[in-house]
Structure 1
Amino acid sequence: MVLAVVVGVAGGLWWWESRDPLTLPASACWSLVDRSDLRALAGDEGGTFTVWHTTGGYDDDGSRFTPGVRHQTCGVKGNQRVLLTIDVWGMTEVFFHGEYELGHRPARADPERQLDLGPDLKTWVAGGAVRLAFRCDNLVTREQGVVALEIWVQEDGRISGVKSAAAQQARLDIALRVAKKSAEWSLPCLNKVTFPDRATAPPL
């Protein structure tokens, strides 16, 4: 049962509420999250599920996907926790090099593990998060100093995150799906970026 659809133009916010994650609209998260993803991420969670889009610095609701031009977010929340947050933004040369090309990552309580998805992709997995980045040469974003795109897919595991292999795989699948569309949609990458058809999440 759908409870509400609300659009807030001034705040750049769009959301939708439902009693079942599988009845959330197909347009949610730019139509890049499917029913199997939501079921894996929700686990036994019940109650009301909420989807929202936001966009930084623009007076629209964030549902129009324009990767690289602005920071965009889509999220899905249950009663107790955030099941999913997808962030997509552009990276400058200095930021991309510092985050992904120095050959090391800082030690953390939940250490990140690098995942090999081919020479064009930089991918790190840590607990309930996947980070994926790739170089993207585009005539519009080039003028803004953007040389790469980064996708974060994560949950808020501080409360009662789902620590299952299915949830981890769903996060990786979503990250790869969003990355592929980011290279193709609206402002396509002029350089060739090779994506795998499928990737397997590392063991938890």
Structure 2
Amino acid sequence: MYVLWSLVGVLIAAGVGVGVWRPWRDTVTLPPSACWGMLEKADYQPLAGSSGTATEEVDAEFHGGPYRFGIPQTQCNLLWNGKGREILDVMIQQQSADPEKSDIPEFGGGKPHRWDFGADAIGWTGDSKVPVVELFLRCQYATAADAPPIQPYVQLRVMASEGVASAALPEVRQALADVSLKLAKTLAQRIPCSNSVQLADRAPVIS
């Protein structure tokens, strides 16, 4: 019996040391891509909880222009272990707010702070426990011949439910900023924007 328990102890120690055998390790299941194919697993991996499954839910497909009434609102969610909480909530729409005055407080995001995402983007984060990034992308795009005048910005709001991610809040905010910039770059091509959109190579370091 002593020999048997000694062997078990050796196996456990070896598994912990090299990460080979850890049957109690938490498991996380994420879709390989999400949000109209604009994001990959590595983009939202930092937003996941310690153990669980994320499933994607979109309210509509995202289509390029020309647009009759501006870019329609579309939303993508990565639900965590069912409905009610999200590791990622992405909303894209025609500008509905003044880009110089973020509406982050309306979503429980706290006091807004402005960040540099490039010459053609205005970015905001909040300072509350609800992680949220809002980004306004300057984008001129094709509209139908009888379409009304459009606003010059496309509005992105990227959020996560409070307390879901296993990562610390600053890391979650940073991941959301990275996601926001990637979405903005992809949207500039998908819409497409007729102006030469200038965006930062990397998202700002969110403190």
Judge same fold: TM > 0.5, yes or no: yes
Write the deviation string for residues 6-65 of structure 1: whole angstroms up to 9, x where unpaired: xxxxxxxxxxxxx8433x143x2122222223321013142x32111113xxxxxx2x44
For 1:48-127, list aligned pairs within 5 A: 48-55=53-60, 62=61, 64-66=62-64, 68-79=70-81, 81-91=85-95, 95-96=96-97, 99-101=98-100, 110-126=110-126, 127=128
For 1:1-204, list aligned pairs within 5 A: 20-22=28-30, 24-26=31-33, 28-46=34-52, 48-55=53-60, 62=61, 64-66=62-64, 68-79=70-81, 81-91=85-95, 95-96=96-97, 99-101=98-100, 110-126=110-126, 127=128, 128-140=131-143, 143-147=147-151, 148-157=153-162, 160-162=163-165, 163-185=168-190, 187-203=191-207
Aligned length: 167
Contact between 1:82 and 1:156, CA under 8 Å: does it hold in 2? yes
Higher strand share: 1
Contact between 1:100 and 1:122, CA under 8 Å: does it hold in 2? yes
CA deviation after TM superposition for structure 1 residue 188, in Å: 1.4
Contact between 1:129 and 1:155, CA under 8 Å: does it hold in 2? yes
Query: Displaced runs of 4+ in structure 1, greater than 6 A?
Result: 103-109
Q: Check 1:112–1:66 CA distance in 2 against 1; reply closer, same or farther (3 A cut).
A: same
Q: Check 1:65–1:75 CA distance in 2 against 1; reply closer, same or farther (3 A cut).
A: farther
Q: Check 1:71–1:161 CA distance in 2 against 1; reply closer, same or farther (3 A cut).
A: same
**Partners in 2 of 1:109 and 1:179 — Cα distance?**
21
Question: What's the % identity of the aligned pairs?
Answer: 25
CA deviation after TM superposition for structure 1 residue 116, in Å: 1.6
Contact between 1:21 and 1:39, CA under 8 Å: does it hold in 2? no
TM-score (norm 2): 0.69
Contact between 1:130 and 1:171, CA under 8 Å: does it hold in 2? yes
Residue in structure 2 matched with residue 16 of structure 1 by the alignment? none
**Partners in 1 of 2:40 and 2:197 — Cα distance?**
24
CA deviation after TM superposition for structure 1 residue 70, in Å: 1.2
Rg larger for: 2
Contact between 1:73 and 1:87, CA under 8 Å: does it hold in 2? yes
TM-score (norm 1): 0.70
